[in-house]
Every structure is written in structure tokens, then in C-alpha cells.
Amino acid sequence: MLAKRLAVLVVPVLMLASSAWAQKNEISVTAGRFFVSTQTVPSSGDPIHFGNPPSFTVDYSRLLVTRKIFGIRAEIPVAVLPKMDLNYYPGGIPKDIGAIFATPSIRLNIFSGDSVTPWVSAGGGYGRLRESSSLYYYGTNPGPTGTNTGVVQAGAGLDVWFWHRWGARFEARDFYSGVPNLDVDTGRSRQHNYYVGAGIMHRF
């Protein structure tokens, strides 16, 4: 299901990129990990621990305007979290979760056009959370196995162009989303999903 939803999100981006003007467009793919802070269930006093599994992002951006050393870009970062294991001693929660976040954003590059350019980004969009159909320890999850949520994205990174139109990206983003349905009440309605990754870029 995650792969199908990713295709629905990415295909329109690639179609837009193919029709855009040359040299103003960038696409990047990074690999990294998601980090979610431990959450305590008030009724039991026990913590829910979240794993930090391998994940990846795909990002398309288009240059809108440049002013002196600054460049402003519209971007669509799509982050994919295939599977994050959960750990909760009393049990009774999904054994793992997954997620897709797609957040149209505005990115500000400093020293735009140079070989090394730091940047900051902010925006918001849509997230789809997946809860496992199996419970931690044993049993079938009686709750929902899919949750829609609004997402706020904030991030920063560094792009290094090392060869013609190819470069490397180092990024850290926070996808601030609703919480997955864990079948227990943690007292939270939102959570930070921190992503850190590195990968390659192409300008065209």
C-alpha cells in the first residue's frame, strides 16, 4: 500500500519536472533514518519506544527567484517510512507503524548558484500513517490500520555540487504530524517525526 501511495504522489512531480525549463529544476534522493521520541502511557506509566529504521526521501524543487546570494525554491519533499518497530511492555499496541509524508514547501538557499549552499525549508501537506494489523506480542489489531493527518514540515540542510549538474545533499527535517492509532492513549494529538539523511542530487 505504501508503494502505491508513493507512486501516486511522485508521478505527478516527475511529469511536472519533465515539462519545466532546464537548469531551474532539481531532484534529490536521500537515505537516512527517522527518530520519534519515547511516549509514556499515563494509565500504565510504561513508555512506548519507537525504532529508528532506514527510510528515504525524494524531493523535487524549482527555482522561483534569486536575489543577490539568496535563491527561493518551491519544493515537494516526499518522505517514506516503510516500517518502524514499536516496543511496549504491557503489549496491546500495533507491533509496527509506517508513514508517507508529502509536504509542498518553500526553500531558501544561501549562496544560491555556488558549489556549496546551505538552506532552510518550511511548508505543510499530507501524511498517511499505517498501523500494523498485528499486535505487539500476539493477536490481531482491533483498531484502524490507516490514519490520515495534516503535516507541518521544517528543515535545514547543505547541498554540495561536486561535478557538473550532480551534487550531494545532507538534510534534517521535522515532519510534525498527528499520532498513529496505537490502541492506547498517550495524551498526545501530535508528534515530531525527525528525519536525518544524505544522498545525491541532479540539476536539469
DSSP state of 134: B
Q: In the chain, what are the domain boundaries? A: 2-203
Given a contact cutoff of 8 angstroms between Cβ atoms, the answer to whether 63 and 46 are in contact is no
What architecture does CATH give domain 2-203? Beta Barrel (2.40)
Under the banding of pLDDT at 50, 70 and 90, the label for residue 23 is confident
The amino acid at 170: F
Residue 4 has pLDDT above 90, yes or no: no
- Which tens digit of pLDDT belongs to each residue from 47-64? 999 999 999 999 999 999
Decide: helix, strand or coil at residue 108.
Answer: strand
What is the per-residue pLDDT for 5? 53
- Which tens digit of pLDDT belongs to each residue from 174-197? 999 999 999 999 999 999 999 999
DSSP state of 20: S
Residue 16 has pLDDT above 70, yes or no: no
Under the banding of pLDDT at 50, 70 and 90, the label for residue 39 is very high
Of the CA atoms within 13 Å of residue 195, those in its CB half-sphere come to 31
